[in-house]
Chains A and B, each alone.
Chain A
Amino acid sequence: MKPLLIGGDWVTTSLGLDNINPSDIHDIVDSFAQAGRAETEAAIRAAAAAFPDWSLSGPQQRHDILHRTGDEILARKEELGRLLAREEGKVLPEAIAEVNRAGQIFLFFAAEALRQRGDVLASIRPGVGIEVTREPVGVVGIIAPWNFPIAIPAWKIAPALCYGNTVVFKPAELVPGCAWALADILFRAGVPAGVFNLVMGKGSVVGQAMLEDARVDAISFTGSQATGARVAAASLPFLRKIQLEMGGKNPLVVLDDADLEIAVRAAVDGAFHSTGQRCTASSRLIVTEGVHDRFVSAVADRLATLRVGMRWTRRPTSARWSMRLSCSRISTSSQARGRRAARSAPGARSCAARPKDIS
């Protein structure tokens, strides 16, 4: 069982949860300790206790920890990419690219730690000077989604630590593997006890305990609109600082004068790569009349070449547009009901995902 990280200690719990490979549900990635309310509160207590010293730590120390973390992620990107693909379900090249991005983010914020600056202004009163500086916020709760199991945690954790905050990190329940690997790397990179804490578990338990705790000064959340609204409502009584990234229904406009190849490539990549499970995915293709039929036909042709299957194999270089989609989690209600009066394009499969196919 992979443990939690609380106050610099690796903590196992009586309850462990298996992490299932969505492309092969008989493949168990690993078992992960599950935090309850008590473990979550212990992690928040540890983060609060670690904050005074960490908030006054020097930028070189923060730089070095973030830099070592980024270096190790990049050095292990193939291995971590395989773990990511196995637990999340995206294809291996996308998984390795995501790990690479996580490493780059840590290196970016390592450098930012050395570039913290402020303004010096003259007061309107003679003989008085003014400095405008930035200070850390405090204990930051990080609630991350499953669709980018290492990049999104990286782009929340790296700046939190860079600017002197302490962190309580709750990964999505479906992807504890990358979260644990990241915690292990940070721990060995020298992050002091309590500065970074990992609590895996249910949103209704771990997330709720974070929302209700006055010691959590800020929450950075990426996920659904419904949960985002709960984070906002729960944070208002504390006047807690929040940052919410939620859904999208992103449009891609294609005009008559578009380069058709560029437009088709943008549409297929934007709508269907990463199984369409990106908050920035194109889901509404808005096409002017003059190019509409040619565009639909070309996109349908391209979709017909996509291959759906296991996440492991690399995309064959000979078939540029081939890709494997393995779709682990999807909400089905809107797509099923949205088909009324619409029809699927020839060449593309119809909206074939029935709830029983998806579980």
Chain B
Amino acid sequence: MRRQTEGYFLSPALITETHPGMRINCEEVFGPVASVIRVRDYDEALHVANDTPFGLSAGICTQSLKYASDFKRKAQAGMVMVNLPTAGVDYHVPFGGRKQSSYGSREQGSLAAEFFTTVKTAYTASG
């Protein structure tokens, strides 16, 4: 897009009627682009949500405790959001993912100590 200043501007894009196997649903764009996948029911939604090599964050919007609870347990992601955006996290709790999104121990919060320290076990006899 062109704007008053010469710079790098993009308009947001929403891509509809996509299928899970399309490249847009397999690779990260890292821009203002989202795609919509139509599914029959919760079970198919959960399957599609997990059908990715990535596992950083996953969200669900529902008023059902049953589906929210099930999604929190079964989502294959390091962070799960219920009725919240997948992005936007607190600084005092662990941050990180699973599968190909992350490797190693968590960042932030008290769990940051896991990466930035090594453990020593010391034995002492009273002599």
Across the interface, do A243 and B86 meet the contact criterion of CB distance under 8 Å? no
CB of A294 within 8 Å of the partner chain: no
Contact of A349 among B12, B81, B91 (CB under 8 A): B12
Within 8 A of B (CB), among A340-359: 340-345, 348-353, 357-359
Question: Which residues from chain A contact B11 at a C-beta distance below 8 Å?
Answer: 308, 325, 349, 352-353
> Can you list, as one digit per residue, whether each of B48-60 has a CB less than 8 Å from chain A (1) or not (0)?
1100111111111
Instruction: Point out the residues of chain B lying under 8 angstroms from A23, CB to CB.
Output: 3, 5, 7-9
The residue of chain A having its C-beta at the shortest distance from the C-beta of B112 within the complex is A159
| Contact with A255, one of B45, B92, B96, B104 (Cβ below 8 angstroms) | B45
Q: A289-B39, A329-B8 are known contacts. Are A245 and B101 too (CB-CB below 8 A)? A: yes
Query: Within residues 100 to 120 of chain B, which ones have a CB less than 8 A from any CB in chain A?
Result: 100-105, 107-108, 110, 112-113, 115-120
CB nearest neighbor in B for A303: B12
Which of B6, B45, B97 is the one whose CB lies under 8 Å from A286? Answer: B45
Interface size class of B (residues with CB under 8 A): 35 or more
Stretch in A44-52, A181-189, A204-212, A261-269 with 4+ CB within 8 Å of B: A261-269
Give A353 Cβ to nearest chain B Cβ, in Å: 5
Q: Is the CB of A283 within 8 A of B61?
A: no
Please report the C-alpha to C-alpha distance between residue A205 and residue B115 in the assembled complex, in whole angstroms.
25
* Interface contact A248-B59, CB-CB below 8 Å: no
Given the interface pairs A21-B7, A155-B91, the reply to whether A271 lies near B34 with Cβ below 8 Å is: yes
Q: Which of B23, B49, B58 contacts A334 (CB 8 A)?
A: B23
Question: In the complex, which of the residues A129, A248, A272 has the most CB atoms of chain B within 10 Å of its own CB atom?
Answer: A248
Task: Determine the distance from Cα of A27 to Cα of B7 in the docked complex, in whole angstroms.
Answer: 10
Q: Which residue of B lies closest to A247 (CB)?
A: B28
B10 contacts A353, CB within 8 Å?
Answer: yes
Q: How far is the CB of B14 from chain A (nearest CB, A)?
A: 4
Cβ-defined contact, A266 with B84, below 8 A: yes
User: Does chain A have a CB within 8 A of B64?
Assistant: yes
| A159 and chain B: residue at smallest CB distance | B112
**A25 smallest CB distance to B (angstroms):** 5
Interface assignment of A112: CB less than 8 Å from any CB of chain B: yes
Let me know if B8 and A327 touch, CB within 8 A: yes
Given the complex, which residues of A lie within 8 Å of B126, measured CB to CB?
127-129
Other than the given A342-B15, A344-B14, 6 more pairs (CB < 8 A) read A24-B5, A248-B54, A252-B86, A326-B8, A327-B9, A335-B29
A-B contact pairs, 19 of them (CB 8 A): A125-B125, A129-B124, A136-B117, A159-B112, A159-B116, A248-B28, A248-B101, A252-B59, A266-B84, A272-B12, A276-B12, A276-B29, A283-B28, A283-B29, A284-B52, A308-B12, A338-B27, A342-B17, A351-B33
Q: Which 8 A-B pairs have the closest CB atoms?
A: A338-B24, A270-B85, A243-B104, A134-B117, A248-B56, A271-B34, A24-B5, A251-B49
